[in-house]
Structure 1
C-alpha cells in the first residue's frame, strides 16, 4: 500500500471533505488522521474499510486513484501540496477578513443609530439591515466568503426572502389596482 496516504488525501480533497469529519468517522483525532495523510502513521485494514465507506469506493479504487501529482507527472516532493496549502490558508484568511469587515460595517452603522437615540440603546437589527442594504453586499455575504455557520449568513437569507416577499406584494397591489381601474372604466362605458 505504497503512497496510499497521498491517494487518501487526494480523494478527500476531490470530494471536498474535511479532515475533522473523516477523523470523527474513524474514531480518532484530527491530528492522528493528518498523520495518516502525511504517511507518518500506517493505515490499518479496519480504517481502510471505514474510508471505503466514507469515500464510497472499493479498496482497489482507492489504491488505483491517480493523484494530481501523478497525473501531472510531478515528483512526489510536496510542491503541489504546498501550493494547495497556501491557497487554502489564503481562502481562510479571506473568509476571516470578510467576517471582520461585516462586523466593522455593523459597528459603523450602529454608531449613528445609537447617537440619534436618547436612551443610547443598541439597535443592532437596524445596523444589520443597513449592512444588508449596501449595493454589492451579495459578493461578501455568501458561504464561499464567510463560514457557513456564521449567524449573518442565515439572517441575510431571511432578509432577501422578506425583500422578495415585499416586492411580490407591491407587484400584486399594483396589479390589483390596474385591474380594478380597468374594471371601473368598463363599468362607466
Structure 2
C-alpha cells in the first residue's frame, strides 16, 4: 500500500450541498488553499451529526486560517439537503457537504468500507500545493474533536512556513518549537 502522506490530492468532480444550494466541487476548486476532507459514514446517524456540528462551530476559525472544510459521505447531495432541512443541528453547517454516492472519492482516500457502501471516519488535510499533510482514519464508533484538528492544522501551517522547525507533542500556536540538529540528539 502506498503511503497517503505527501501524495497528491486525487482528481475528482462531485456534487455538493452548501447554504441551500447544489453545486459542483472539483479538485481544481481546492488548488491554492488549505483544505480539510472530513469523511463520515452517513447522514441521519448518531455520531456523525455531533462531529459535523463540532466542525461547524469552528468553521469561522478554519476560514480565518485560510482553510476550507469539505465533509464527505456516500450519501447523495439530495440526502444532504434533506438532512439539513430536517435537523436543526445540521442547519448550522456552512461548509460544503460533498456527495460521494459512487464511493470514488472514499476509495481514493482509502476510507471506503466496500461491504457497507459507506466510509470510515477519515480526516485529511491538504496543503495549497495539493499534497496530503495529515491523514487519520478511525473506526466509526469513535468521534473526532475539532479543537484537536484546529491544533494540527496550526502546526501544519507553521512548519510549512518555518523551514527547519518542527512542532513537538501538544504544541500550540505561539509555543516553543524544535530545530532538529545533532546537538539535540539524546537531550530531549
| TM-score (norm. length: structure 2) | 0.29
Structure of larger gyration radius? 1
Give the number of the structure whose residues are more often helix, by fraction.
1
Give the number of the structure whose residues are more often strand, by fraction.
2
> Which structure ranks higher in relative contact order (CA pairs < 8 Å, sequence separation ≥ 6)?
2
